[in-house]
Amino acid sequence: MNKFLLIGLGNIGAEYELTRHNIGFDVLDTFAGKNAASFKADRLADVAEIRWKGKIFICIKPTTYMNLSGKAVKYWMDKEKIGIENILVIVDDLALPLEKIRLRRGGSDAGHNGLKSIQEHLGTDNFPKLRFGIGNNFPKGRQVDFVLGKWTSDEWPLVVKKVNSCVELIETYSQVGIEQTMNLYNKLTFSL
């Protein structure tokens, strides 16, 4: 049975719920909800196990805070004996417009502290990432406020649509592999 480790990046605590930086948590919550699974507190992460079409997905939302995410990723990869090619990190991305998602086989952390931590713990940046575009519509010097801010009511319907597409992307990725999934999803532009 094929096993995958899905890592949603975010920060724990009610004050971070539904913020741009927590989109990784939101995607995994939606995936779990679709499959009637729930997260339980475990070592370094909230964890849910989902079985879907002959696949097992270990879904983790690290409870280490963003800049220590790598510790949780390494622990769960080792515990579940999942190879780097079968992980998928879901992360917010300022460099992508809100209308886009981007699946990549590898690539730099682009200044994202969660990705930086994972790279440090795995010793490589060559692991699959699903980047969820959050745009960069903020005044100079206000990046942190924007990233940690909640979605606006105008943005929210598009965010929900993209989150549901990310769940479909995860399913597609597990069935046909990363190349075909990148070809299907990276060209998409989301709109209402």
Q: What's the whole-model pTM score?
A: 0.96
Catalytic residue among 7, 19, 20, 21: 21
Is the pLDDT at 1 greater than 80, yes or no? no
Q: Which percentage of the chain shows pLDDT scores above 70? A: 99
Report the alpha-carbon distance of residue 93 to residue 101 in Å, rounded: 9
List, for residues 55-111, the tens digit of each pLDDT value.
999 999 999 989 999 999 999 999 999 999 999 999 999 999 999 999 999 999 999
Average pLDDT over residues 146-153: 95
Domains of the chain (ranges plus CATH)?
2-185 (3.40.50.1470)
Is the pLDDT at 21 greater than 70, yes or no? yes
Burial 120-131 (b: 16+ CB within 10 A, else e): bbbeebebbbbb
Residue 121 falls in the annotated catalytic set = no
